[in-house]
A and B are shown apart, each in its own frame.
Chain A
Amino acid sequence: MDLSTFVFYFFAGITLVSALFILFTRNILYAAFALMLTFLGVAGIFVFAGAEFIAITQILVYVGGILVLIVFGVMLTNRLQGQKVLTPVYRKLMGLIVGGGLFLILFKAIVEANFGAITWVSGNTQTEPTSLKKLGLTLMTDYVLAFEVIGILLLIALIGAIHMAGGKRKEVSDAS
């Protein structure tokens, strides 16, 4: 086993262990920090799959943005008075049946499908990193409509979120 394989399985292990920690913990704040570890592990896996730009974007957007939003949400929606932020857990059996059953179906399908034998998978085994220039050219030529639409969607969503979350601010007129 060479070094890159070892590092790959290290990242996969980080992702698995932190995801299972999210599953078994009841503390929302611990779950948020374990979610950060999961995102970092997934970013490492993206590097090994030859997608460096996606990995950097994953770290920037998820760890730097969404995780901070989640921690702020935990802070603003709980009366913190020194006790832990616990979430009640219910319908354990139903969740286990749904999730475990779906995983068994997916696992059987993946093993049966035998992706290594498909020609367009086994024929292209080089995992050289895709150049950023090529990705940018693809994004601005073939997918430019979707790119603009996603930009407008993000703008509208952020304005709507600020409008919803912001309270009514009264104008202070009597400054005397």
Chain B
Amino acid sequence: MPVEHLIILGAILFCVGLIVVVTRKNAIAVLIGIELMLNAANINFVVFSQFDPERLQGQVFSLFIITVAAAEAAVALAIILKVYHYFKTADLDKINELRG
């Protein structure tokens, strides 16, 4: 399995996540796109970490990325719940005022 294929797979995942973030209106669909982009970054870290078997820097970094992604998902969903409770919608185009 050549390393280029893995990196191209990571690039495809990142671009799919970017397109999902740009084109979706629902906030949760945008969150799904962000998770895809974080996974693409993880793939690159792990792939290059296998050529450096002593120091394990890439694997440690990907562990940190997974932790930050978990924290980010929890906070983002809490914000989305509160926004939905206030505006009665999760559509990002209709949430356009700061204080109702």
Contact = CB atoms under 8 A, between A and B. Distances in A.
Given A22-B32, A99-B19, A110-B11, A70 B77 contact: yes
B22 to A, nearest CB: 4
Interface in B1-23: 1-9, 11-16, 18-20, 22-23
A102 B59 contact: no
Contacts of A74: 28
Interface string A1-42: 000010011001001100110110000100110010011001
A70 B16 contact: no
Majority-rule SS of B interface residues: helix
Contacts of B75: 157, 160-161, 164
B70 A66 contact: yes
Query: Could you say which interface size class chain A belongs to?
Result: 35 or more
Nearest to A123: B51
A146 B66 contact: no
B28 A70 contact: yes
Interface in A114-133: 115-116, 120-121, 123-124, 126-128, 130
Task: Give the residue among B6, B9, B55, B91 with the most A Cβ atoms within 10 A.
Answer: B9
Contacts of A120: 51-52
Interface in A39-77: 39, 42, 45-46, 48-51, 53-54, 57-58, 61-62, 65-66, 69-70, 72-74, 76-77
A150 B67 contact: yes
A22 B72 CA distance: 20
Task: Give the residue among A16, A87, A90, A127 with the most B Cβ atoms within 10 A.
Answer: A87
Nearest to A72: B77
A138 B60 contact: yes
Contacts, number: 225
Interface string B25-53: 11111011101100100110011011111
Contacts of A172: none
A146 B64 contact: yes
Contact of A99 (B5, B22, B32): B22
B73 A66 contact: yes
A120 to B, nearest CB: 6
B68 to A, nearest CB: 7
A69 B77 contact: yes
A73 B26 CA distance: 11
Contacts of A32: 32
In order of increasing CB-CB distance, the 6 nearest A-B pairs are A157-B71, A87-B26, A99-B19, A165-B78, A95-B23, A95-B22
